[in-house]
Amino acid sequence: MAACLSTPLHADAQQDIRQLKEQLQAIQKNYQQQIEVLQNRIAALEEQKPEPAPAKPVMEQARANAFNPAIALTLNARYQTFNKDRGDAIPGFSMGEEAGWGDQGFSLGESELNFQTSIDDLFYGSLTMSLADEGGETSVELEEAWIQTLALPSELTLKAGRFFSGIAYMNERHSHTDDFADRPLPYRAMLNNAYLDDGIQLRWLAPTDTFIEIGGELLRGDHYPAGGAAHNGQGSWSLFAHAGGDVGVSNSWLAGLSYLSAETRERESGDEDNPDLFTGESNMVVADLVWKWAPQGNPYRHNAVLQGGLFWRDESGDFAPSGSDWLSYDGYQFGWYAQVAYKFMPGWRVGMRASGLDADDPGPAFAGSSLDTQGHNPWETSFMVDWSHSEFSRLRLQYTHDESQSLSDDRFILQYIVSLGAHGAHQF
């Protein structure tokens, strides 16, 4: 019986196997046909050579964007208070008019309206208007207006117009990018916060892995620490060099060395109605260093910026205290600052800064003038905490203990900085 039953069962199994093999062969044949169709389509497309769409001429693109520059308004307002009704003079230094503390109470500070755009494939342009609150009145002034080349050979860049000089790390940065509400003492006393002038600037970027940049400027010499536009409007010149790079993934650095030579003709300082006058030469050397840290190169949660600088200046010529007789003067001045800003959590930073000055005593003939050191070495320390909701808004509270004059003072600043509109990335 078993033998009779096994024969039909075995025949059914063999029939099922044949049917499955036939179905598999049909599937393989179908897929093979589809693969051949796709391969033929790919080959046909690769043989085709579509004509590229004609590119618009560069000048046509420039004209299309001529009335569409990047426009940004940066508001930099503050409330400040200090204990004494004091002047802005620092003993031993003849300072420019922008170096003071400003008024107590609420003020607009120094806000900026900036226009930037590519003019064409060869030039880039920028214009910045400054809105400042001075003595309760709002003034609008032309701050910067320059063009810059985009396509010079050999890694050269030429800038012409009115611009902040490339000397010193903070000089060519706008004040709203600073880590503190004001500039350290050497910038205030020796550069009038920042040296701005008309002229030309040439930079060369070395084709090396390490960032190396060398530049020079020929300037009109009409702004402090120069004055009077000597030598037919070529009264100032500078040389500077920058080098920088990365240290691992989390650290980067930038070092700079600068030299500024300026001629002055009756440069004014002190009392506006009866100022001190200086005619002669002003030569300055600045060395600075910036170190930035961000874990794994990501500054979102934590980062730190450590920076400092040394300033040395030699001025020689004739000095007239408050319109009195001219006196022969030759003196050295020295300044320094060091600061750190630490981001301890997203949006929040704390910072500390110390800065100081030292000047030669010019002698009893200069008693009572701005060059009279009064036997005092100016210095100050500042502490700040700020909060940034985004890259477009920042609130800052700063306290400064000031010993820049013979009597100490304490200063509090509450500041807000907001940017409206398109604003380009800031420099390192």
Which residue has better confidence, 99 or 282? 282
pLDDT tens track for 1-26 = 455 445 554 666 777 788 778 777 77
CA distances from 41 to 38, 51, 146 (A): 5, 19, 56
Q: Tell me, what's the pLDDT at 310?
A: 98
What kind of fold does domain 64-421 have according to CATH?
Porin (2.40.160)
User: Domain residues of the chain, as ranges?
Assistant: 64-421
Structure tokens at 289: 């260093």
Q: What is the pLDDT of residue 136?
A: 66
User: Would you place residue 50 in the very low, low, confident or very high pLDDT band (cuts 50, 70, 90)?
Assistant: low
Closest by CA to 61, choosing from 115, 114, 122, 152, is 122
Match 């920076």 to its residue by tokens.
Answer: 307
Give percent of the chain with pLDDT exceeding 90.
64
Percent of the chain clearing pLDDT 70 (strictly above): 90
Give the tens place of pLDDT for each residue, 316-354: 999 998 878 899 999 999 999 999 999 999 999 999 999
- The predicted pLDDT at position 165 comes to 97
Residues sharing a CB contact under 8 Å with residue 199, sequence separation 6 or more, in sequence order: 160, 217, 218, 219, 220, 236
Whole-number pLDDT of residue 397: 98
Per-residue pLDDT tens digits for 263-273: 999 998 877 77
Count the Cβ atoms, other than its own, within 10 Å of residue 361: 13
What pLDDT score was predicted for residue 64?
44
| 345 Cβ contact list (under 8 Å, min separation 6) | 301, 302
Q: Is the pLDDT of residue 143 over 80?
A: yes
Average of per-residue pLDDT values in the chain: 88
Tens digit of each residue's pLDDT (9 = 90 or more) over 107-121 = 887 889 999 999 999
What are the structure tokens assigned to 342, written together? 């630490």
Among 357, 351, 337, smallest CA distance to 403 is for 357
pLDDT tens string 58-98: 444 444 445 578 899 999 999 999 876 667 889 999 988 88
pLDDT value of residue 132 = 77
Half-sphere exposure of 10 (CA within 13 A, CB side): 6
